[in-house]
Amino acid sequence: MTTVTVYSTKACPYCRMAKALLEKLGVAYTGVDVGEDAGAARKMIKLSGQRGVPVITVDDEVIVGFDARRLNELFGTSSAGDLFDVLIIGAGPAGLTAGVYCARKLLKTMIVSENIGGQALESWSIENYMGYRMVTGEDLMKKFEEQVRTLDVRLELDRCSSITSEDGVFVVKTVSDATIRAKSLILTQGKKPRKLGVANEEQFLGRGLSICSTCDGPLYKGKKIAVVGGGNSALQTAVEMSGIAESVTLVVRHTIRADPVYVQMLETKPNIVVLTNNEITALQGDRFLSGITVKNDNGEEQTMAIDGVFIEIGWLPNTEILDGFVELNDKKEVVIDLNCHTTREGVFAAGDVTSVKSKQIIIASGDGAKAALEAHEYVMKLGK
């Protein structure tokens, strides 16, 4: 009998999604909270060579991160795709909202996404979403997901690898070898974290370099960490990690550009050191990260002992598979009009993947609703 163990932390949304996928596939597993159990954390690190979650063991195989493709390969079953009225690619605020509106219009709807929640999952606290004085990104996205799951919407954890059109029907291939056919598409796949662009960066990902402080933060209790960035996300991460880590160094390439409320919070934390007009130029360490080199505008460098670095320097749109399929702007965002139409008939888009100037959860949600209503009108004209 297969033995499956999931090493996770309480606040990690990707850990929750890995467990949800295993449960959906009918796979029994043992959950281990490495944020609470230091011994288990050491065991996980020894097994995987990773200081990041989730880590999943399937007998002797070690799976690092939320690898939906591998889990589907191990435990999933292939099925011939039906023809959907709408396929929504992405399950962040825009995609989940679009799913609700499509279901309410009685459209046969499928959502495909690598994760549920998108960029919103990375927010420690959200204070500008109507109806909540303050809510974490994970909690807000749980509410979105719960509402979608009460409706007739098929939700699959997978990643789209190509999109084509055949005889007026859109054909989407996924990395797990599934083929999905749909009359219309709504693109809501959001963005991915921008990298530092320094040597050895890939070597240290999960070994001291993290793009998800919500997931990996508990593993750095009592350690020295750095946060890179000067926007709202970077300051939020620095403030939250100041309550976990021994010390936090905030490395800002130019100047802080966050909202005043986050600047005020930052100033109340005595264990946060801010280095403006600095950037990381090198990463040190053997198996795990042990230090960084930073350089200021005058060309002066300093090396400091650091156990972990959390990258919060912005995002890039997930549009690699869309180049040549719909028009993209110079930022590689999907160009849309006021009603969320792309340049290809039957294809709509919403959220941070689009050319809309303001990137906010509430705006993405609103545009998700608009895109769904436009998709409904398009499908009705085709003759449902």
CA neighbor of 310 nearest in space, from 244, 189, 213, 219 = 213
Number of H helices, E strands in the chain: 10, 21
Q: Tell me what pLDDT residue 122 has.
A: 72
**Domain ranges across the chain:** 4-75, 83-192+315-382, 201-311
Domain 201-311 in the same topology as domain 83-192+315-382 = yes
| Residue position matching structure tokens 């998800």 | 212
Domain 4-75 sits in CATH 3.20.20.150: no
Least confident of 15-19, 159-163, 274-278, 290-294: 15-19
What DSSP assignment string belongs to 29-96? -EEEETTT-HHHHHHHHHHHS-SSS-EEEETTEEEES--HHHHHHHH-------EEEEEEE--SHHHH
Residues 369-383: tens digit of each pLDDT: 999 999 999 999 998
Per residue in 124-150, pLDDT tens?
778 888 999 889 888 999 999 999 999
Q: How far apart are CA 316 and CA 195, in angstroms?
A: 9
> What percent of the chain is predicted at pLDDT more than 70?
98
Handedness of CA 256, 260, 264, 269 (dihedral sign): negative
Per DSSP bridges, beta strands 4-8 and 55-58 are antiparallel
Return the closest-CA partner of residue 312 out of 372, 241, 371.
241
Question: In this predicted model, what pLDDT tens digit does every residue of 16-27 receive, in sequence order?
Answer: 888 988 998 899
Fold of the domain built from segment(s) 83-192+315-382: FAD/NAD(P)-binding domain (3.50.50)
The rounded Cα 71 to chain-centroid distance in angstroms is 18
Reading the block at residue 380, the tokens are: 């009705």
272-275 vs 247-251, strand pairing mode = parallel
Task: Report yes or no: 232 and 259 within 8 Å, Cβ to Cβ.
Answer: yes
At residue 96's C-alpha, the angle toward residues 95 and 99, to 5°, is: 90
pLDDT band at 197 (very low <50, low <70, confident <90, very high): very high
Place of tokens 């960084």: 292
Question: The domain 201-311 is classified under which CATH number: 3.20.20.70, 3.50.50.60, 3.40.190.10, 3.90.480.20?
Answer: 3.50.50.60
